[in-house]
């Protein structure tokens, strides 16, 4: 075999090795990019109650409790706030102190004035089932929603962030297993108080 033929075969082998290494590098980079993308877009299925249970208990020990007998739930709130019953369109149209049978309430400062320091609201819904698709029917602009799985206090549901609705930080939907009724919880003001109110929510039966 002539010397130039040996060189040619060696060069071909080197080129083939480089091609294999290049393909391997491309595949590796693609796999890493996919893993990063998957980690950033995976639904939040973490039960947030474990991390906040101790803090919630200590910080809400002196809070009042509102119990709704119609929809069978209870929620805690600080004494400086009051539970108002929504009697108009939406949680901000409140006029009277909430009764135990209210279908929609707002937790806010002790005032009857509209749009004043509302922190949190809870509402019964007309949804027959709880899913991403049915939740989107509740909103005017469903394409602007970010819907992820969410759990708190042993309840599993969905967290909805709507970039269009002014003033609403997040909506939370949970379904009562005994009646399959879907309850909507709305964080109207992003604060530690709102987070503690959310963490205290539970179905009573």
pLDDT confidence of residue 53:
52
Q: Rounded to the nearest 5°, which phi and psi values hold at 60?
A: -110, 10
Mean pLDDT estimate for the chain = 76
**Percentage of the chain with pLDDT > 70?**
70
Q: Rounded to the nearest 5°, which phi and psi values hold at 136?
A: -65, -25
Quick one: pLDDT band at residue 50, thresholds 50, 70, 90?
very low
Q: CA 148, CA 104: separation in Å to the nearest integer?
A: 24
Mean predicted confidence (pLDDT) in 152-157: 82
Mean predicted confidence (pLDDT) in 153-170: 76
- Helix (H) and strand (E) counts for the chain? 4, 11
Quick one: pLDDT band at residue 110, thresholds 50, 70, 90?
low
Q: Rounded to the nearest 5°, which phi and psi values hold at 57?
A: -60, -45
Selection from 63-67, 131-135, 147-151, 177-181 with the highest mean pLDDT = 63-67
- 137-142, long-range: CB within 8 Å, 24+ apart, which pairs? 138/184, 139/165, 140/164
Q: Rounded to the nearest 5°, which phi and psi values hold at 162?
A: -115, 115
Overall pTM surpassing 0.85 (yes/no): no
- Output 171 or 16, whichever has higher pLDDT: 171
DSSP string, 153-189: TTEEEEEEEESSSTT--EEEEEEETTTTEEEEEEE-S
Give residue-wise pLDDT tens across range 64-109: 999 999 888 999 999 888 888 876 555 455 567 888 888 888 888 7
| CA distances in angstroms from 112 to 97, 108, 121, 194, listed in the order given | 9, 9, 15, 20
């Amino acid at each position: 075999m002539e010397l130039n033929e040996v060189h040619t075969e060696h060069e071909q082998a080197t080129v083939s090795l480089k091609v294999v290494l290049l393909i391997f590098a491309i595949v590796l980079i693609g796999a890493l990019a996919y893993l990063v993308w998957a980690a950033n877009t995976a639904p939040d299925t973490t039960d947030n109650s474990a991390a906040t249970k101790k803090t919630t208990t200590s910080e809400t020990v002196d809070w009042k409790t509102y119990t709704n007998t119609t929809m069978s739930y209870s929620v805690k709130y600080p004494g400086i706030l009051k539970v108002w019953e929504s009697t108009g369109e939406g949680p901000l149209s409140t006029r009277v102190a909430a009764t135990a049978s209210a279908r929609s309430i707002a937790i806010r400062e002790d005032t009857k004035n509209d749009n004043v320091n509302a922190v949190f609201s809870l509402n019964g819904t007309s949804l027959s089932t709880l899913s991403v698709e049915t939740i989107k029917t509740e909103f005017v602009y469903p394409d602007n929603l970010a819907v992820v799985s969410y759990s708190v206090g042993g309840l599993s549901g969905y967290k909805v962030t709507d970039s269009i609705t002014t003033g609403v930080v997040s909506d939370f939907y949970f379904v009562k297993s005994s009646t399959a009724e879907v309850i909507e919880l709305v964080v109207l003001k992003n604060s530690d108080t709102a987070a503690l109110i959310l963490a205290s929510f539970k179905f009573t039966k």
